[in-house]
């Protein structure tokens, strides 16, 4: 249960300063009327009390409610749905609990970001997305390797490194040399992780460990490693050339791409090894894809163009939005 217990204090200590910061932003905006602190599209804003855009904050309650529901389902499965298993490896629900908590925290932090959205606190909206993508990948790995699981401490330290890199880039910016360094870091991490995956968490030839297994599975692992490293190399080189301004979303995209590759490999190997398919996973997969496609479409739409204000040091925005019930397209929303 280290995954679930470690994520709780991490969430508390990360979230409290965030809430304090955005609350201060909102108070300053209300008292001074300085609308340059936060960017809003006021044609789509529905204020309530002190909140300028209550609708954007309230819309994130879906994450929280779904996370609570997920935790209830996991608790029920752990306490009532596992009684018949009196043999084999005991099921581990720690990753499931951690995923539920991360989903709740994503709702809280995304809502906090929308209290006063600007370029300086955008990472609040993506931090727990990193965690959820990594935890989902680990859980999928555990489905096929129930006796193996990465250390919770190592996993969270790696996630802390990701968050540190994002903040460093946000504060200090990036030059060509920085992107070259990031390229080597990206490729190095990709190579090390795939090497550990191939050797089932062991360094090659450590402690006399010998890699063995199903012939088709081993060929599949080699193919996956080759594809993952080539794709990450291509993405890293492209990022070095293009140098995307939104580094937080770029890093999230890298994690999602790698998670998608492993999901694809997981499905292909089930077909190759002729494993039995049941109805529910097929239905869930179809529903998930139908939801992922429009979600990624709206998430990747460039509705905001960040502009850096030299005097305040805050990134402002020209905002275009498509919202319900109003539709505002190509509408500049910079206050004077």
Domain boundaries, the chain: 1-174, 175-275
| Token pair of 167 as six digits | 């903040």
Give the span between the Cα atoms of 194 and 296, in whole angstroms: 26
Residues of the chain with pLDDT under 50: 208-210, 308-336
Look at residue 117 in the predicted model and tell me its pLDDT: 84
Rg of the Cα atoms in the chain: 22
Residue with tokens 């201060």: 24
Look at residue 170 in the predicted model and tell me its pLDDT: 74
Which DSSP category does 207 fall into? G
Residue 102 burial (CB < 10 Å; 0-12/13-18/19+)? buried
- Please state the pTM of the whole predicted model: 0.79
Look at residue 63 in the predicted model and tell me its pLDDT: 93
Residue with tokens 């905002």: 319
Look at residue 327 in the predicted model and tell me its pLDDT: 36
Could you report the per-residue pLDDT of 295-334, keeping only the tens digit for each?
Answer: 888 877 766 555 544 444 444 444 444 444 333 333 333 3
| Token pair of 330 as six digits | 């190509």
Look at residue 307 in the predicted model and tell me its pLDDT: 55
∠ CA 323-327-332, nearest 5°, is 95
Look at residue 175 in the predicted model and tell me its pLDDT: 75
Q: Decide: helix, strand or coil at residue 251.
A: helix
For residue 255, what are the CA distances in angstroms to 10, 190, 215, 308, 316?
21, 11, 29, 27, 27
Helices (H), ranges, 273-305: 279-300
């Amino acid at each position: 249960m280290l995954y679930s217990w470690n994520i709780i204090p991490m969430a508390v200590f990360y979230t409290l300063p965030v809430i304090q910061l955005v609350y201060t932003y909102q108070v300053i905006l209300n008292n001074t009327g300085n609308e340059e602190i936060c960017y809003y599209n006021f044609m789509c804003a529905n204020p309530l009390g002190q909140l300028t855009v209550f609708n954007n904050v309230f819309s994130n309650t879906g994450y929280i409610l779904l996370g609570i529901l997920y935790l209830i389902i996991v608790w029920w499965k752990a306490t009532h749905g596992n009684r018949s298993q009196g043999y084999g490896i005991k099921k581990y629900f720690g990753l499931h609990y951690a995923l539920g908590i991360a989903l709740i925290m994503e709702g809280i932090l995304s809502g906090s970001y929308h209290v006063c959205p600007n370029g300086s606190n955008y990472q609040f909206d993506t931090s727990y997305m990193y965690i959820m993508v990594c935890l989902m990948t680990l859980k999928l790995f555990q489905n096929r390797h129930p006796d193996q699981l990465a250390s919770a401490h190592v996993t969270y330290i790696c996630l802390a490194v990701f968050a540190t890199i994002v903040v460093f880039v946000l504060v200090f910016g990036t030059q060509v040399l920085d992107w070259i360094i990031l390229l080597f870091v990206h490729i190095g991490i990709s190579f090390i992780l795939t090497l550990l995956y191939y050797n089932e968490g062991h360094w090659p030839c450590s402690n006399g460990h010998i890699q063995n297994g199903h012939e088709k599975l081993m060929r599949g692992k080699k193919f996956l490693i080759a594809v993952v490293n080539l794709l990450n190399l291509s993405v890293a080189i492209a990022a070095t050339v293009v140098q995307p301004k939104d580094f937080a979303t770029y890093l999230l995209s890298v994690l999602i791409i790698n998670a998608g590759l492993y999901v694809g490999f997981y499905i292909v190997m089930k077909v190759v090894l002729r494993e039995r398919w049941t109805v529910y996973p097929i239905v869930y997969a179809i529903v998930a894809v139908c939801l992922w496609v429009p979600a990624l479409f709206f998430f990747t739409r460039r509705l905001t163009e960040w502009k850096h204000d030299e005097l305040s040091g805050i990134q402002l925005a020209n905002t275009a939005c498509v919202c319900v019930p109003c539709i505002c397209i190509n509408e500049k929303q910079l206050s004077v």
